[in-house]
């Protein structure tokens, strides 16, 4: 992973991408602001890919309900969704190529999901290893029905907009175990979508685009505390919206090589989070190479390595912060994008559901009843 040039964001609101180009679907559960881990693991790839497609970004609030569904959690959806869209735009997603939509604002997806659920078996879903763990992680001892159905709803999201492409993590290129695990889990779930699309098309007729997996490396960014993964819930994250002094404070407290008790002791660079961040975000490779060499030789203090990291992160984050502030000052812009995106998506999904019903023969049955009822009335 290398620091990615950040694309400018259009200042005037746009209605969204022109129809006709292949579609991509990706997105997140609205659980909070985005951090450097999100950027490294998915946002950078989205920014790189999204202009090639008509890109749909789902704000998956219904998926969030499978593990977080208290009234307090639900009350946060609006703020979190707006924050995530703001972060994504500030980081470089171009609204001219992006459709942001709120999953719960497209209730037709639930019908699509129900119709698809006949095409998959319970054991098939139970074999997806991440589901049980997700439940346990959320403190649930028994599997909620919604969680078991998570991959079906996820398939419905993808197929509903006739997405041709779904970005996934590359299994084999992921060296770190967590990265491999993250890639494997998500890829398995997209496989369910492909299976169901094929099965539906075979049985009822060609309604669905079978989505292709667009693989990319999924670098997993460690936390500032040295944990293998930066995560909101672990409190070890640097957010895209953190002000410069907060970044400095977080970097000062960062975990480094624990064996290195003072500057004169040779240190380890590999898997040292300070250097992982340098590699990912410092736009001055010569500076990073120099620091690594001196670190290995015991010729540089942690303080200098961290000061340079703070400077590099702030160089990276400054334009993001600036754009975020400009976008946030344009009151109602993010909300408007979500509203128009949700309406746009709903329109597409209604069409897909109508095509499904027609292909399955459900439309014909009701139409038959209607015709008979009308004839009787004459
Ligand atoms: P939580 O602590 O609530 O689980 P989180 O900070 O781990 O939140 P998620 O919402 O679980 O964030 O992450 C959504 C997606 O963002 C993940 O599926 C993954 O693609 C990416 N992602 C999150 N954290 C990282 C990370 N540290 N490195 C790489 N990618 C990440
Ligand atoms: Mg997480």
User: How is 90-124 classified by DSSP, letter by letter?
Assistant: HHT--GGGEEEEEGGG-THHHHHHHHHGGGS-HHH
What would the pLDDT profile of 208-249 be if each residue is shown by its tens digit?
999 999 988 888 999 999 999 999 999 999 999 999 999 999
Question: pLDDT at residue 255 above 50?
Answer: yes
**Cα-to-centroid distance, 57 and ligand 2 (Å):** 18
* Cα gap 221→237, rounded to integer Å: 10
Query: Which residue do the tokens 């240190």 mark?
Result: 267
pLDDT for 13 = 38
**Cα-to-centroid distance, 232 and ligand 1 (Å):** 8
pLDDT for 181 = 74
Q: How far, rounded to the nearest angstrom, does the alpha carbon of residue 168 sit from its chain's CA centroid?
A: 10
What would the pLDDT profile of 108-133 be if each residue is shown by its tens digit?
999 999 999 999 999 888 887 777 77
Question: pLDDT at residue 174 above 70?
Answer: no
Q: Which of 11-20, 84-93, 261-270, 335-344 has the lowest mean pLDDT?
A: 11-20
pLDDT for 124 = 87
Average pLDDT over residues 156-164: 95
3 falls in which pLDDT band (50, 70, 90)? very low
Q: Report the chain's terminal Cα–Cα distance, integer Å.
A: 71
From 168, 169, 231, 279, give the residue whose CB has the most ligand 1 atoms within 8 Å, as the site to mutate.
231
Give the total residue count for the chain.
378
In this structure, the residues whose C-beta lies within 6 A of any atom of ligand 1 are 28-29, 31, 37-38, 40-42, 182, 220-221, 229-233
Nearest alpha carbon, ligand 1 atom 22:
38
pLDDT for 86 = 98
* Cα gap 90→241, rounded to integer Å: 9
pLDDT for 17 = 52
Q: What is the pTM of this model?
A: 0.90
**Cα-to-centroid distance, 180 and ligand 1 (Å):** 14
Ligand closest to the CA atom of residue 68: 1
Helix (H/G/I), strand (E/B), else coil: 28 = strand
Percent of the chain scored above 90 by pLDDT?
A: 72
Ligand closest to the CA atom of residue 181: 1
């Amino acid at each position: 992973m290398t620091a990615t040039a950040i694309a400018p964001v259009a200042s005037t609101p746009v209605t969204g991408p022109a129809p006709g180009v292949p579609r991509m679907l990706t997105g997140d559960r609205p659980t909070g602001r985005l951090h450097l881990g999100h950027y490294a693991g998915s946002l950078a790839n989205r920014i790189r890919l999204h202009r090639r497609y008509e890109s749909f970004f789902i704000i998956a609030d219904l998926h969030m309900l499978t593990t977080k569904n208290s009234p307090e959690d639900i009350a946060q959806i609006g703020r979190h969704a707006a924050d995530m869209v703001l972060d994504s735009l500030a980081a470089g997603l171009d609204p001219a190529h992006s459709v942001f939509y709120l999953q719960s604002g497209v209730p037709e997806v639930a019908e699509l999901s129900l119709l698809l659920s006949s095409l998959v078996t319970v054991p098939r879903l139970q074999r997806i290893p991440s589901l049980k763990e997700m439940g346990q992680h959320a403190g649930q001892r028994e599997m909620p029905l919604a969680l078991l159905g998570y991959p079906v709803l996820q398939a419905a999201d993808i197929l509903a907009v006739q997405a041709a492409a779904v970005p996934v993590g590359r299994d084999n290129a992921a060296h770190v175990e967590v990265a491999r695990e993250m890639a494997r889990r998500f890829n398995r779930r997209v496989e369910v979508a492909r299976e169901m699309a094929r099965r539906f098309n075979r049985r009822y007729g060609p309604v669905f685009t079978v989505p292709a997996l667009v693989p990319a490396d999924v670098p997993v960014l460690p936390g500032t505390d040295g944990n293998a993964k930066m995560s909101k819930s672990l409190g070890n994250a640097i957010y895209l919206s953190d002000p410069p002094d907060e970044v400095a404070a977080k970097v000062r407290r960062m975990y480094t090589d624990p064996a290195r008790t003072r500057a004169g002791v040779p240190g380890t660079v590999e898997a040292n989070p300070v250097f992982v961040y340098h590699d990912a975000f410092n736009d001055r490779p010569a500076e990073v190479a120099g620091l690594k060499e001196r670190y290995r030789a015991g010729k540089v203090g942690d303080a200098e390595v961290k000061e340079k990291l703070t400077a590099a992160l702030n160089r990276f984050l400054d334009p993001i912060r600036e754009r975020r502030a400009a976008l946030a000052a344009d009151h109602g812009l993010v909300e408007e994008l979500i509203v128009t995106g949700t309406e746009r998506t709903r329109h597409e999904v209604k069409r897909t559901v109508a095509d499904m019903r027609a292909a399955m023969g459900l439309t014909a049955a009701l139409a038959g009843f209607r015709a008979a009822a009308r004839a009787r009335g004459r």
